[in-house]
Amino acid sequence: MKIFNRKKLNNDTDFNDIGNLNLLVSEPTVKAKYKPNPSHRRIDFYYEEDKVFIEGLADNNYTFWLSKTDIADTSINAQICKHVLYDSFDVYFSTSKYYHELHSLFKKSIIQASDCVDVKWKTPFGSYIGDNDNTGLLIAKSLVEFKTEIEKLCEAREAGGNYLSIMQGILEHLSQRTDDPIWDYYTATPWIKIMRDEDYLLCSKNEQFKGLYLQLLKQHSDLYSRYMTAVR
């Protein structure tokens, strides 16, 4: 089965137009220790107000693209997605410069899902997207629609301000520590699950909600770090 059946863009107008949008070209390169499997390629995207970061990854270890564009610019974003999904890449970059910025934003992924007949892309938009010449444009348009849905979820949570007290209660649970990091992590597991389900609050325009959610992320990161140190 042919995984990437689209034409290469490297000599096309599309690539020449968007090549300078890759934020990573001035960052240190990373030498790959193996050849990434093409079927592991994916897009991670991050919302920041009216902008979207689009990250192209060869797999979990190697990133070759990172751009920041207007969410509403579906023409440019379609070209970026097409380039990321179908072109050949053999240069990978460090993303450490952008680590903290990206990890404070709402993130979702688009990954390849293949069966014995078709190649398609699994998305967080509620459906799969087929593998064809319209794939990039469909993703770009879905990024806009999905952001609208996320904003509506935020508005629903913000209504009346009552959910703030629930978030504060979750924060109290995640802030508890004993001398046993493993016990702490397992005790916090139900609250961590609730927190993860509410990750769209990183898109909240209400600074109280977003600030509280960032505190939840910080406590979760600390719990997980202590847990991993204990089990190693």
3-state SS, one letter per residue, for 33-80? CCCCCHHHCEEEEEEECCEEEEEEECCCCCEEEEEEEECCCHHHHHHH
Task: Provide the edge-to-edge strand list for the sheet that holds 42-48.
Answer: 29-30, 92-93, 63-70, 51-57, 42-48, 106-114, 119-122, 128-130
Read off the amino acid at residue 59: D
Return the pLDDT at 204.
Answer: 95
Question: Which of these, 225, 229, 231, lies nearest to 188 by C-alpha position?
Answer: 225
Return the pLDDT at 16.
Answer: 58
On whether the CB atoms of residues 20 and 68 are closer than 8 A, the answer is no
Give the three-state DSSP class for 7: coil
Q: Angle, nearest 10°, between helix axes 163-175 and 181-197?
A: 160
- Which tokens hold the place of 68? 């920041």
> Which residues of the chain are under the pLDDT cut of 70?
1-16, 115-117
Return the pLDDT at 17.
Answer: 75
- Which tokens hold the place of 192? 């961590």
DSSP labels, 98-154: GHHHHTTSEEEEEEEEE-SS-EEEE-TTSSEEESSTTHHHHHHHHHHHHHHHHHHHH
Return the pLDDT at 77.
Answer: 97
- Which tokens hold the place of 47? 């919302």
Give the angle 146-150-152 at the CA atoms, nearest 5°. Answer: 120
What span, in angstroms and rounded, lies between the C-alpha atoms of 69 and 218? 27
Return the pLDDT at 3.
Answer: 41
Q: What sign does the CA torsion over 218, 44, 107, 93 have?
A: positive
